[in-house]
Structure 1
Amino acid sequence: MKDFDVIIIGGSSAGLSASMALGRAARNILIIDSGRPCNQPTPHSHNFFTRDGQTPNEIATIAREQTLKYPTVTLLNGVAAQAKTTEKGFEISTTSGDIFNAKKLILAHGIKDQLPAIPGFAQCWGVSVIHCPYCHGYEYKDQPTGIFANGEIGFEMAKLISNWTKNLTVFTNGKSTISAEQEKIIHNNNINIIEDEIAAFDHTKGYLNSIRLKNGEEVKLNALYARVPFVQHSDIAEQLSCEISKPGYIVVDGKQKTTIPGVFACGDNSSGIRSISNAVNSGTLAGVMANLELIEEVFLAEKY
């Protein structure tokens, strides 16, 4: 059993950013990372200064090299399986049987997308079936594009994506639940709505060629935006009784603090803004705030 100032679960953008802040504060840090980031299949990343167009893996590789230069930062390739509170903080057990203690805990493990079981969808996810126009919209601007959504989300996405391309089709994959008023607005913007169920996504190495419908029709597309359900990549927050919002995010305040004292969360697990820049920002804040708590617990303690 080893003791640390802070254990960080998750070693992608948010976790590494928190680690660098704490490493520069000379804190004894352990990062536990499974090596399965949700942005792994993405061929390029954007909206992150100095790294525009690089793959998430290339950016993470540089981040790991720079973070691990700080001698008090340790990276463990593994999976955090169990967590419990102790008198001094938290005890974390891994699937390999290792046990570690820490005064503070930062959850940076991200989320896991729940992809529909439609042939070709998973292979295209993150490549040409995408979630964010700010991340990928420029590369597909003015091209034939689909939206895989229904109801209020379908309407909002049609409105949003129309900024990048006017060649749009909404696929509800079944009976539309978009309101009549919203359908009228969508049609007034020359956007088609297709309610027929999807049979398959035809693609070449993840790049969409077309969508085949169960009625036999085929729709040519270069890209498709989709909002899919997700679950937390780890159930550690649940084990510790951290509050989870209705959409499924870990609830944090403006300092990245969860509802459990001493536990912080950052990155995709606690924010709907899924980007490397946002993960880095929230990770830095979590690291700074965890360090501030550690400082205050010593500095403000009564001395006898």
Structure 2
Amino acid sequence: MKNIYDVIIIGGSYAGLSAAMALGRSLRNVLIIDAGKPCNRNTPHSQNFITQDGEKPHIIADKARKQVLAYSTVKLVSDVAKSGEKTEHGFKISTQSGTYYEAKKLIIATGIKDILPNIKGFKDTWAKSVIHCPYCHGYEFRNKKTAIMSNGDKAYHMIPLIHNLTKKFSVITQGKAHFTEEQLMHLKQHNIPLIEKEILEIVHENGAVKHVIYNDGTTEAFDAIYAQLPFEQHTNIPNELGCELTEQGYIQVDEMQKTTVPGIYACGDNTNRLRSVANAVYSGNLTGAVLNMELAHEAF
């Protein structure tokens, strides 16, 4: 029996599973290829997702996987998708194990890979008390001594959101600050300290930030630090197949989650900056429905 499917989904976390459920319930023959390394695997709790607020991410994912795989039309293999190519009838995906699979359509739901800075203690605190999103984590650190490790326009976008959650708030620019005069005036009006130093170490206790050590040897206590990190795509397959990326590095999709290559869709964190379980589930569900419609029209 050949490994040929209607749809291959690369990535079996929230977006990929959500797409698989919509397709599986529509009697599509679906294969999920998943490496078992979701983006939020270090996060102790998932918030801001109704019915699952405060639950451990792996419990949500395990429950979702069990429900999706209850549909006989959906299959999951634990493997790493390594390369992709176009075929006469669709796409072929080769995996780390040496197996290849073919499908009419392809969904990329691989999330993104954060590029962590070379700061001692950062990795141990990332997604615990060094965090990325005020919607995902801000309530838990409300009114706490907080910093944002960022600079310029990117930082200024986040500052009002964090200032709404706590007034004990500083901006650490990791070097010379790059703000406009108007932005600097607003920071001053709201009594937000601007710290033009570099963090060399984050001192923590079991992932909970205690204080930072700056490059001048001074220290400062914080309870939480927001960090806006650069990222890269988890897989080069979209690039291999000709999918365009945005200027920010996300896979370019339209309002229906279609990439710039016909037959290839993308959903979840790899397509936009709204990194949350709720958004991943939504975009995956939309992708599955739109792709099923495409298959239905092609066959009708």
Q: TM-score range by the shorter chain?
A: over 0.9
Superposed displacement of residue 273, structure 1 = 0.3
Partner SS for 1:268: coil
Counterpart of 2:86 in structure 1 is 85
Q: Does 1:182 align with 2:183?
A: yes
Counterpart of 1:40 in structure 2 is 41
Partner SS for 2:165: coil
Following the alignment from structure 1 to structure 2, what is the Cα–Cα distance between the partners of residues 153 and 72?
43
Counterpart of 1:283 in structure 2 is 284
Letter in 2 for 1:255: M
TM-score (norm 1): 0.97
Following the alignment from structure 1 to structure 2, what is the Cα–Cα distance between the partners of residues 230 and 249?
9
Counterpart of 2:110 in structure 1 is 109
Q: Which runs of 5+ in 2 are unaligned?
A: none
Letter in 2 for 1:102: A
Following the alignment from structure 1 to structure 2, what is the Cα–Cα distance between the partners of residues 71 and 156?
45
Counterpart of 1:158 in structure 2 is 159
Instruction: After TM superposition, list the pairs within 5 Å mapping 1:216-231 onto structure 2.
Output: 216-231=217-232
Following the alignment from structure 1 to structure 2, what is the Cα–Cα distance between the partners of residues 280 and 16?
8
Partner SS for 1:267: coil
Superposed displacement of residue 56, structure 1 = 1.2
Following the alignment from structure 1 to structure 2, what is the Cα–Cα distance between the partners of residues 196 and 216?
10
Counterpart of 1:302 in structure 2 is none
The superposition leaves residues 160-204 of structure 1 with CA deviations (integer Å, 9 ceiling, x where unpaired) of: 210100000100011111223211210210110111111100001
Counterpart of 2:233 in structure 1 is 232
Counterpart of 1:296 in structure 2 is 297
The superposition leaves residues 269-299 of structure 1 with CA deviations (integer Å, 9 ceiling, x where unpaired) of: 0011000000000001111111111111110
Q: Which runs of 5+ in 1 are unaligned?
A: 300-304
Partner SS for 1:259: coil
Following the alignment from structure 2 to structure 1, what is the Cα–Cα distance between the partners of residues 190 and 29?
56
Partner SS for 1:288: helix
Superposed displacement of residue 129, structure 1 = 0.6
Superposed displacement of residue 88, structure 1 = 0.7
Instruction: After TM superposition, list the pairs within 5 Å mapping 1:124-163 onto structure 2.
Output: 124-163=125-164
Q: Does 1:249 align with 2:246?
A: no
Following the alignment from structure 1 to structure 2, what is the Cα–Cα distance between the partners of residues 64 and 156?
35
- Per mean C-alpha deviation after superposition, the further-off stretch among 178-187 and 252-261 is 178-187
Structure 1 runs (4+) greater than 2 angstroms displaced: none
Following the alignment from structure 1 to structure 2, what is the Cα–Cα distance between the partners of residues 198 and 50?
38
TM-score (norm 2): 0.98
Superposed displacement of residue 123, structure 1 = 1.0
Counterpart of 1:27 in structure 2 is 28
Counting matched residue pairs gives 299
Following the alignment from structure 2 to structure 1, what is the Cα–Cα distance between the partners of residues 91 and 215?
52
Superposed displacement of residue 138, structure 1 = 0.5
Counterpart of 1:4 in structure 2 is 5
8 Å contact kept, 1:9–1:109:
yes
8 Å contact kept, 1:155–1:186:
no
8 Å contact kept, 1:154–1:178:
no
